[in-house]
Structure 1
C-alpha cells in the first residue's frame, strides 16, 4: 500500500513517463464542442480511453451521443472494434453523462511493469479515436444536422 503522497508521486511519474514516450499534443478538451472531450484514465485495475459527452442540457447530450451512435458501425469496424457505448453513464459524483470508451483490464498505474502496456494502449486507442473524430468532426459539431 502507498501513502497518499507516494500514490500522488507515482501518478505524477506515470504521466511524465507517458508524455516522454509519446510526446505529442492530444485533442482531449480541444474539440471546440463545449463539454465534449476525450480523456485518458488509469487506476489500480484498468486503463481507459474515453469520450465524455457532458452538456448540462440533456437534449444536447442526447443529440451528440446519437450522432456518434449513428457512426457506430464505422467507429467499430474502422477504428475501435471494442468500443463500449453508454447513453446514460453516472459519474461517481452522480452527474449523468454519455460515454464511449475502450478499456484495458489487469493493468495498474501502481505497477511500473504495466506502464508500457498502458502507454501503448493509450497511444493506439486515443490516436484511433482522434482520427475518427477528425474525419466526422463537421457532422458531429453541427447540431442542426439530424442523425
Structure 2
C-alpha cells in the first residue's frame, strides 16, 4: 500500500510522462495543446482522463451545475453519436445522468480500460496507448463539432 504522498507522486509522474509524450503531437489544427487539461472553450464541458488502481477511463463530461443546461449539452451531442463512434472506431457509453464517487452528477460519454493500474509502471505503456489515440480523435472531433456548442459559451 502507498501513502497518500506516494500515491500523489506516482500519479504526478505518470501524467508528467504522458504530457511529455503527447507534447510531440500537435492538435488537429496544428497548434500546441495541453492534452492533460484540454480546453474545450465551453465552461463545464471537459475531456477527462483518469487512471486508477484497477482501470483507466476517458470521457467527454458535461458537469454544468444546472441539470437543465447539462441535459441540453448532452442532447446537443446526440446527433454526433455516429460521427464520434466512426472516428473512434469503437462505441462509447452514453449516460445523461452519471454519478461519480463523490456523488457529483454529470452527463458523460466515455469508455474504460480494465486490468491496468497507474501504480504499476509496466502498465504505463498500455495506459498511454489507451489515452493517446482517443485524445487525438476527441481533438479532431472537437475541431468540427465545437461550433454546434457556441450557445453554451
TM-score (norm 2): 0.85
SS of residue paired to 1:44: coil
The unaligned stretches of length 5 or more in structure 2 are 24-32
Of 30-39 and 75-84, the range deviating more from structure 2: 75-84
Cα distance in 1, alignment partners of residues 140 and 2 from structure 2 = 38
The answer (yes or no) to whether the contact 1:53–1:99 under 8 Å persists in 2 is yes
Matches within 5 A, 1:1-147: 1-23=1-23, 25-26=34-35, 28-142=37-151
Q: Deviations over 1:40-77 (max 9, x none)?
A: 10001111112110111212111110111221111112
Cα distance in 2, alignment partners of residues 5 and 95 from structure 1 = 25
The unaligned stretches of length 5 or more in structure 1 are none
TM-score (norm 1): 0.88
The answer (yes or no) to whether the contact 1:53–1:61 under 8 Å persists in 2 is yes
Number of equivalent positions: 143
